[in-house]
Amino acid sequence: MIYYVEDDDNIRGLTLYALRQQGIEAEGFSCDSEFKAAVARRVPDAVLLDIMLPDTDGLEIMRRLRAMPETATVPIMMLTAKDTELDKVVALDGGADDYLTKPFSLMELTSRCRALLRRGGMVKQVSDVLSADGIVLSPSHRRVTVDGNEIKLTLREFDLLEYLMRKPGIVFSRETLLQSVWGWDFDGGSRTVDVHVQTLRQKLGDHASCIETVRGVGYRFAGQES
């Protein structure tokens, strides 16, 4: 179980939806008082903390968690709009295991959350590998092989392929892919998805047909799990 403390209802809701869609159990809270009550009921496996919160600073919450025996080793990721080097140093030195600056890709976030859960012993690395029709994708190593040969993908190409492979046969609209892979505040249009699908197909070579176009709707991964 991941606990996510974020006072922006839209960001919190979308992030929780993305995590749950990827099979990650998650619960959200708008403030420290709600979060503190939840921790008293159940200690989470990992925590996502926004720094700027209405009642208690996220850094202070992190320090409190690190000082409590029952939560001292719980993996923590800080999520914040602050992006200066000093902010990151303060967060990491204060006990954070990871740090992600807004705006962020929801696929990158879910990948990092799986890493946090592995760090806490909640996810076995072997189960993280996706394999279908000669395509093997390892989120842990950010590595893709096709028929045993590694191919180089950009950040977004990798995230797009992972998102599609995790839900084989499911058709995703361009809007859904933009929101889930590029993030909620991405300014580009749906053409961005088409361009990335095109370059991804080129790199997949003989396996390009695994990414099917569903006319008038979007795209799906049609490969068979192996």
Cβ pair 100, 77 in contact under 8 A: yes
Element containing residue 28 per DSSP (H, E): strand 26-29
Confidence band, pLDDT 50/70/90 cuts, at residue 20: confident
75 prior amide bond cis, ω within 30: no
Residue 137's SS3 state is strand
- Two tokens at 56? 């208690």
Tell me the whole-structure pTM to 2 decimals.
0.61
In this structure, is the dihedral angle defined by the CA atoms of residues 173, 178, 179 and 180, taken in order, positive or negative?
Answer: positive
Taking residues 196-211, report their average pLDDT: 93
Percent of the chain with pLDDT over 70: 86
Distances in Å between the Cα of 186 and the Cα atoms of 9, 65, 122, 178 are 18, 33, 32, 8
Q: What is the pLDDT of residue 202?
A: 94
Q: What is the pLDDT of residue 184?
A: 56
* Average pLDDT across the chain, whole number: 84
The yes-or-no verdict on residue 124 having pLDDT over 50 is no
pLDDT digits 0-9 by tens, 39-50: 988 899 999 998
Confidence band, pLDDT 50/70/90 cuts, at residue 118: confident
Confidence band, pLDDT 50/70/90 cuts, at residue 187: low
Q: What is the pLDDT of residue 3?
A: 95
Q: What is the pLDDT of residue 84?
A: 62
What angle in degrees, to the nearest 10, is found between the helix axes of 155-165 and 106-119? 70
Taking residues 141-151, report their average pLDDT: 89
**Burial zone of 9 (CB within 10 Å; 0-12 exposed, 13-18 middle, 19+ buried):** exposed
Closest CA to 213 of 187, 174, 182: 174
